[in-house]
Structure 1
């Protein structure tokens, strides 16, 4: 039986925006994923959720709405339902139990990739999953390639760099744009309707 590639794309998704959607679509094509799991974070270990944030359930519902626009994607509640902080290596261990014969591919932004060796249990992450970092520019690709060589040497890592359109805006800037009534420019339409209906980020 041929080994499948199962992608995992995690984040707070507060809210899920077009940058997330575009990266997910690019990753599915570029990495030839059989399935992409979107994983809303429970309690992010290095991030304080800002005032006015959606509830965990709201973030889950918005991520489900976005997933409907991404063929091959589904949303997991694993981190939301788990007590304690959400560490990537623990989530990958959980997924490896579900997909023991398949290749896990961790999707992330290029900036996160450059500091991945400082994450908790980084060696475990590289052992459990291949990494697919996104790059916007040729400069990004060059930095990723340099780090790729280091990670291969140190950890025996498998890396699939992908060139993708990623919104050059932070989540806080996107929330500010929503407050100004400009969310329709930055969010999947179904997510924008949900945000308006629930009065989020005002």
Structure 2
């Protein structure tokens, strides 16, 4: 099948060159498969080379009563090969549990292998930090704007909590790639 497509493109290009001086409309029509292939390759390379960075994510944190509200806005466009879910990783002193975590989730997250994804994040992020506390990992739908809320245990100071936003990228035929951004709680 692939060979047939290559022969068609070569034949159309050859025909386009032959008709270039006599019939320009036919020549342009014959060059269109070659232009389509070049456009597709350019589009693919353009999206493969673009990666978001932690600097392209702006985060704001504010507290109302006992709830923390974190809002995020991407200054630059999101990468085309982003994974549908990003992750929030909490490290809380004495492994106490964060409660009332409300966020937009990926609708198909239950169909994905959630344990595998969380283990991948934990393995990757575990190499970056050496905290003695267990990570609490929550999925978050990747959007150009997002907000999530959570409550900390009553006896925990916000400055003692480590909170990270983990962005996930998955190019075709590649392994998951991650980067993290620390969120400062006040």
TM-score range, shorter chain: under 0.3
Give the structure-2-normalised TM-score.
0.27
The structure where strand makes up a greater share of residues is: 2
Give the structure-1-normalised TM-score.
0.26
Rg bigger for which structure?
A: 2
